[in-house]
C-alpha cells in the first residue's frame, strides 16, 4: 500500500478557453471538476491502475465535503481529517496549444492541533505502507520545523519517504533523508539556487540533493522528460506527446507510475514517463488508466549527454 499525504488538497476546476485575453469575458469551451492536490492525484493515478493506496487529506467547509464526495465517487481510500478552515479551490485555464495558466489559492490555515492530528494519522498509517508520499505545498500554519519533524519521524520509524514539494518543504524532505524527492525544473532550480540550462546542470543539481540527504532524485523536466539520479547512476528519459491537452497533474502521474513500478531503474522510469505523457494527453487533472498508457514511445538511456540543452 502506498500512503499519500496532501496537506493542502483542493477542488480543481479546469476551464478550456480558446485564448487567454486579460480584461475580456472568456467563454469556456469545456470544463472539468476534479479532486486535486498532488498526493491526491498520486492516489487517483495508482487507483486507476490497480495499485493500492490510501490518501490522507485535511478537509473543511463546503469544498472539503465536495472533495470527499469526488474522491469517494472515484473509490479512493481516504483518511480525511476534519479541519475548521475551508478546503481551497484551484483554477486552471487551458488553451488549445496545451498552455495552462493556474491560479492556486493559499489554502486554509492548519492549526497546530490540526497539524498534530494529521501527523498522527500519517504516522499510524505509515506502519502498513510500502511508501509514504508527501506532496504539494504546505498550507498556512504549520512551521517548517514541524514539517521537518514529521519527515524525520517517518524516516526514523523506517518508512520509505518520498517528497514532492517546493522551497523549504522540499529541502526539509531532503535533509530528513527521504528515499526519493521529485522536483520539477523550477523546484530543482530553487533548491540549488541556479537555473539549469543543460542535462548536465540538472544531473549536477540532483547530485547536490543526494549529497544533502536524498536517496534518489527524480527530476521532471516537462517536455524534456525526466532524469533519475540514484545510487545506481544516472538515467534520462523522454516521452513525446503529439497533442498536449493539459499538463496539470503530469508530475503526479509520473511519480505514481514510477512508484508503481518499484521506484528504481529503467523499467520504473519508463513506467513513470508513460503515465506522465498519458496525463498530458488528458483534459484537466484527469489521471490515466491502463488503456491510456503507451510505453512504445518512451526512450530511456543511461548516462545521457550532459551538454544536451533543455528546451521547455
Ligand atoms: N509538454 C509535454 N510534453 C510531453 N511530456 C510532458 C509535457 N509536460 C510534461 N510532460 C511529462 O510529464 C512529466 C511531469 O511534468 P512536469 O511539468 O515536469 O512536472 P510537474 O507537473 O510536477 O510540474 C514530465 O517528466 C514528462 O514526462
Ligand atoms: O500544492 P500546490 O503546489 O499548490 O499544487 C496543487 C495543485 O497541483 C496539482 O496537484 C497539479 O499538479 P502539477 O500540475 O504541478 O503536476 C493540482 O491538482 C493542484 O491544484
Region 142-150: mean pLDDT is 98
- Separation CA 284–CA 33 (nearest Å): 8
Region 60-70: mean pLDDT is 98
Q: How many CB atoms lie within 10 A of CB 217?
A: 25
Cell triple for residue 180? 526519493
Q: Which of 12, 252, 294, 303 is catalytic?
A: 252
> What 3-state class would DSSP assign to 35?
strand
pLDDT recorded at residue 312 = 66
**Residue 280 reports pLDDT greater than 80:** yes
Region 137-146: mean pLDDT is 97
Region 14-43: mean pLDDT is 95
Q: Which residue has the least CA distance to atom 12 on ligand 2?
A: 249
**Average pLDDT over the chain, rounded to whole?**
96
- Separation CA 133–CA 126 (nearest Å): 10
State the ipTM, two decimals.
0.97
Q: Ligand 1 within 6 A of 247 CB?
A: yes
C-alpha 4 – ligand 1 centre gap (Å): 20
**Residue 75 reports pLDDT greater than 90:** yes
Check if 164 is active-site: no
Instruction: Please report, to the nearest 10 degrees, the dihedral formed by the alpha carbons of residues 218, 297, 36, 106 taken in order.
Output: 50
Residue-wise pLDDT tens digits, 211-231: 999 999 999 999 999 999 999
Asked if 223 and 260 count as a contact pair (C-beta separation under 8 A), the reply is no
Residue-wise pLDDT tens digits, 237-247: 999 998 888 88
Q: Which domains does the chain have, with CATH numbers?
A: 2-302 (3.40.1190.20)
Residue-wise pLDDT tens digits, 11-25: 999 999 999 999 999
Residue-wise pLDDT tens digits, 293-307: 999 999 999 999 999
Q: Give residues with Cβ within 8 angstroms of 251, minimum separation 6.
A: 38, 164, 182, 184, 220, 276
DSSP H helices in 167-239: 167-176, 185-192, 199-211
Atom of ligand 2 nearest to the CA of 12: 20
| C-alpha angle 252-57-107 in degrees, rounded to nearest 5 | 85
| Half-sphere exposure for 95 (CA within 13 Å, toward CB) | 10
Residue-wise pLDDT tens digits, 92-131: 998 988 788 999 999 999 999 999 999 999 999 999 999 9
Amino acid at each position: 500500500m502506498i500512503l499519500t499525504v496532501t496537506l493542502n488538497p483542493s477542488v480543481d476546476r479546469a476551464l478550456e478557453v480558446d485564448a487567454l485575453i486579460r480584461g475580456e469575458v472568456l467563454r469556456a469551451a469545456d470544463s472539468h471538476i476534479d479532486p486535486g492536490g498532488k498526493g491526491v492525484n498520486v492516489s487517483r493515478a495508482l487507483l486507476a491502475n490497480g495499485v493500492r493506496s490510501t490518501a490522507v487529506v485535511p478537509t473543511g467547509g463546503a469544498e472539503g465535503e465536495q472533495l470527499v464526495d469526488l474522491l469517494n465517487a472515484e473509490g479512493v481510500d481516504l483518511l480525511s481529517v476534519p479541519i475548521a478552515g475551508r478546503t481551497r479551490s484551484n483554477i486552471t485555464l487551458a488553451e488549445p496549444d496545451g498552455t495552462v495558466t493556474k491560479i492556486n489559492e493559499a489554502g486554509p490555515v492548519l492549526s497546530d492541533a490540526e497539524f498534530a492530528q494529521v501527523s498522527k494519522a500519517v504516522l499510524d498509517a505509515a506502519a502498513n505502507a510500502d511508501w509514504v508520499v508527501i506532496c504539494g505545498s504546505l498550507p498556512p500554519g504549520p512551521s517548517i520545523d514541524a514539517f521537518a519533524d514529521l519527515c524525520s519521524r517517518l524516516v526514523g520509524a523506517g518508512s520509505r519517504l518520498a517528497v514532492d514539494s517546493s522551497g523549504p518543504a522540499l529541502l526539509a524532505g531532503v535533509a530528513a533523508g527521504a528515499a526519493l524527492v521529485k522536483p520539477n525544473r523550477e523546484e530543482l532550480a530553487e533548491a540549488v539556487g541556479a537555473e539549469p540550462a543543460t542535462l548536465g546542470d540538472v544531473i549536477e543539481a540532483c547530485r547536490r540533493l543526494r549529497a544533502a540527504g536524498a536517496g534518489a532524485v527524480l527530476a521532471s523536466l516537462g517536455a524534456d522528460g525526466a532524469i533519475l539520479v540514484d545510487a545506481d547512476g544516472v538515467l534520462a528519459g523522454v516521452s513525446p506527446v503529439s497533442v498536449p491537452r493539459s499538463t496539470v497533474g503530469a508530475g503526479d502521474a509520473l511519480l505514481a507510475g514510477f512508484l508503481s513500478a518499484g521506484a528504481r531503474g529503467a523499467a520504473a522510469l519508463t513506467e513513470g514517463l508513460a503515465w506522465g505523457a498519458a496525463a498530458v494527453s488528458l483534459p484537466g487533472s484527469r489521471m490515466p488508466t491502463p488503456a491510456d498508457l503507451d510505453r512504445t514511445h518512451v526512450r530511456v538511456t543511461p548516462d545521457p549527454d550532459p551538454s544536451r540543452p533543455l528546451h521547455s
